C-alpha cells in the first residue's frame, strides 16, 4: 500500500489558543511523506524485528521544521550513568557510526540516514536514565525535551504527589521541581518559540484534571500560570495529556467531557476554530485494524504535525488484550488536516513481549534522533528510557 501524504503550506499560528498573542516557531515548509507497508506480525507486545518489519513512514525531504541549535539528545548524547534495559529487546548497537548531526547509522552499519526520515522507524536497545530513577514508591513518567541539548522535563513522585521536574543533564544528575505545593501534575510539554506561555501540563484540582500553561525560563523559573483558554478545558470533565503542533496549529488531548476518556483534537489555526472532535485513530494488531482503547493515549506530535506517537493497550489480531494490563507504543502519520492517514504501527523495537509491561509516554528529541519513553517492565515502578534511532 502506498499513501501519498502532503506537501503543506507554511505554518499557521495557533489562533484558537492565541488570545495571549503567542508566537509560532517561525516559517518553514514541511517535507512530503509517504507511508507504505504494514507490520509483519505486528501485534502489540512484539519483541520487534530489527529491520524492515513494516509500517514505514517515509520522509522524502530532510527537515521537520526544527532548526534551533542544540542536539536535543542526538546519538552522540552522553550515556554516563545509563545501562541497557529490558524495556524493548530489538535493534543493534550503533557501533562505528560516523554520521553527521541529525543523522543515524542504520542497524549498526555505516549507512547514514536522516533522523527526519521516518521511512525506517527502528531503535537501538533502550537505555535507562538510572540517575533519575528514585525509590520503588516513586514513579518517573512523561519524559519530554526541554529548550536545547539533552535536557528533559519529566514527572516524578508517588501517585498522590507527582511533580514536574527539569533535568539539565538527565544522564548524570537528578531534576529540580518546577512548581511548589502538594499538587498532582502530569504531562509536561515545552513548545519552543511561544513567547507568553511555553510550558503546558495538567494538574489535579477542584473540578478534575485541567490543562494549564505557564512561562518557563531556564533553569527552573515558572511564571504566568493560567488555564489553557478556548475549548480545551470543559466544565465537569477531566482534560489532560496535551500535544501541540505549532506548525499546523493542531492540538490533541484527552478528555472525559463526553462521559468516557477520549482522544480529542482541534484545528486551532482555523478562524473560528471548529469544536473539538474525537480523533478517529486505529492501531495495527497483526493483520487487523483495531480502535484505540484506554483512558490515556499519552499523545505527542512532532513540530511539523506529520507524526503522532501514543500508547495503546497491547492487542492481538482479534483486537483483544493479549497481555493483561500491558500497553505498547505506536506511531501514526498525519495528513495536512491533522488526521491519521493509516492505522498506527507498533514500535516493535521498544515494546516488550509478555510480563504485563507498560510502555508509555513516547516523544522524540528535537532532531528526531532519539525517542524518550517510560516503562514499568511489568513491576508498576515506572522509569525513564531513551532509545536511539537505528
Q: Partners of 43 in the beta sheet?
A: none
Which residues partner with 177 through β-bridges? 165
Q: Which residues pair with residue 239 across a beta bridge? A: 255
Residue pointed to by grid coordinates 488555564: 227
User: Cα(first)–Cα(last) distance of the chain, in Å?
Assistant: 24
Burial of 180 (0-12, 13-18, 19+ CB in 10 A): exposed
pLDDT tens figures, 188-237: 999 988 889 999 999 998 889 999 999 999 888 999 999 999 899 999 99
Domains of the chain: 18-388 (2.115.10)
The pLDDT of residue 317 is 92
Assess contact for 140 and 361: CB atoms under 8 A.
Answer: no
Alpha helices in 231-299 (DSSP H): none
C-alpha angle 336-341-342 in degrees, rounded to nearest 5:
165
The span from the CA of 281 to the CA of 373, in Å, is 20
Residue in 250, 350, 351, 255 with CA at minimum distance from that of residue 301: 250
- pTM reported for the whole predicted model: 0.80
Helix (H) or strand (E) run with residue 226 in it: strand 221-227
The pLDDT assigned to 46 comes to 39
Other Cβ atoms less than 10 A from the Cβ of 215: the count is 16
User: How far are the Cα atoms of 246, 306, 340 from residue 5, in angstroms, in the given order?
Assistant: 19, 9, 10
The 10 Å CB-count burial string (b at 16+, else e) for 137-158 is ebbbbbbbbbbebbbbbbbbbe
Neighbours of 95 (CB within 10 A): 10
Query: By the 8 A CB rule, do 34 and 5 touch?
Result: yes
Cα(44)–Cα(142) distance, integer angstroms: 21
> What CA–CA distance (Å, rounded) separates 78 from 179?
28
User: Per residue in 32-59, pLDDT tens?
Assistant: 333 233 333 333 343 333 333 334 554 3
Which tens digit of pLDDT belongs to each residue from 81-130?
344 444 654 445 545 678 999 999 998 788 999 999 998 999 999 999 99
Confidence check: pLDDT of 70 > 50: no
| Beta partners for residue 42, in sequence order | none
Amino acid at each position: 500500500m502506498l499513501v501519498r501524504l502532503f506537501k503543506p503550506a507554511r505554518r499557521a499560528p495557533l489562533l484558537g489558543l492565541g488570545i495571549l498573542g503567542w508566537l509560532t516557531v517561525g516559517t518553514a515548509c514541511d517535507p512530503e511523506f509517504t507511508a507504505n507497508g504494514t507490520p509483519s506480525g505486528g501485534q502489540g507486545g512484539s519483541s520487534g524485528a530489527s529491520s524492515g518489519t513494516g509500517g514505514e513512514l517515509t520522509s522524502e525531504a530532510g527537515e521537520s521544521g526544527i532548526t534551533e541549535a542544540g542536539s536535543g539528545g542526538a546519538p552522540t548524547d552522553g550515556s554516563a550513568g545509563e545501562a541497557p534495559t529490558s524495556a524493548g529487546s530489538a535493534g543493534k548497537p550503533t557501533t562505528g557510526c560516523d554520521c553527521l548531526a541529525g543523522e543515524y547509522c542504520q542497524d549498526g552499519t555505516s549507512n547514514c540516514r536522516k533522523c527526519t526520515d521516518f521511512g525506517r522507524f527502528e531503535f537501538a536497545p533502550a537505555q535507562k536514565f538510572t540517575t533519575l530513577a528514585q525509590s520503588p514508591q516513586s514513579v518517573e513518567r512523561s519524559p519530554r525535551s526541554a529548550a536545547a541539548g539533552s535536557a528533559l522535563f519529566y514527572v516524578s513522585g508517588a501517585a498522590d504527589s507527582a511533580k514536574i521536574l527539569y533535568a539539565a543533564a538527565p544522564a548524570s544528575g537528578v531534576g529540580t521541581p518546577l512548581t511548589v505545593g502538594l499538587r498532582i501534575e502530569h504531562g509536561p510539554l515545552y513548545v519552543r518559540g511561544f513567547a507568553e506561555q511555553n510550558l503546558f501540563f495538567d494538574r489535579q484540582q477542584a473540578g478534575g484534571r485541567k490543562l494549564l500553561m505557564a512561562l518557563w525560563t531556564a533553569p527552573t523559573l515558572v511564571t504566568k500560570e493560567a488555564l489553557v483558554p478556548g475549548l480545551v478545558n470543559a466544565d465537569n470533565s477531566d482534560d489532560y495529556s496535551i500535544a501541540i503542533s505549532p506548525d499546523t496549529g493542531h492540538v490533541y488531548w484527552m478528555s472525559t467531557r463526553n462521559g468516557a476518556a477520549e482522544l480529542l483534537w482541534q484545528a486551532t489555526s482555523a478562524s473560528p476554530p471548529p469544536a473539538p472532535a474525537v480523533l478517529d485513530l486505529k492501531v495495527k494488531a497483526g493483520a487487523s485494524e483495531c480502535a484505540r482503547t484506554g483512558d490515556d493515549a499519552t499523545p505527542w506530535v512532532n513540530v511539523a504535525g506529520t507524526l503522532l506517537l501514543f500508547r495503546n493497550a497491547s492487542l492481538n489480531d482479534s483486537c483483544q488484550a493479549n497481555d493483561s494490563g500491558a500497553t505498547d507504543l505506536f506511531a501514526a502519520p498525519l495528513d495536512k488536516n491533522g488526521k491519521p492517514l493509516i492505522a498506527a504501527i507498533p514500535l516493535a523495537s521498544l515494546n516488550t513481549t509478555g510480563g504485563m509491561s507498560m510502555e508509555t509516554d513516547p516523544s522524540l528529541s528535537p532532531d528526531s534522533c532519539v525517542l524518550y519513553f517510560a516503562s514499568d517492565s511489568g513491576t508498576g515502578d515506572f522509569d525513564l528510557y531513551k532509545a536511539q534511532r537505528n
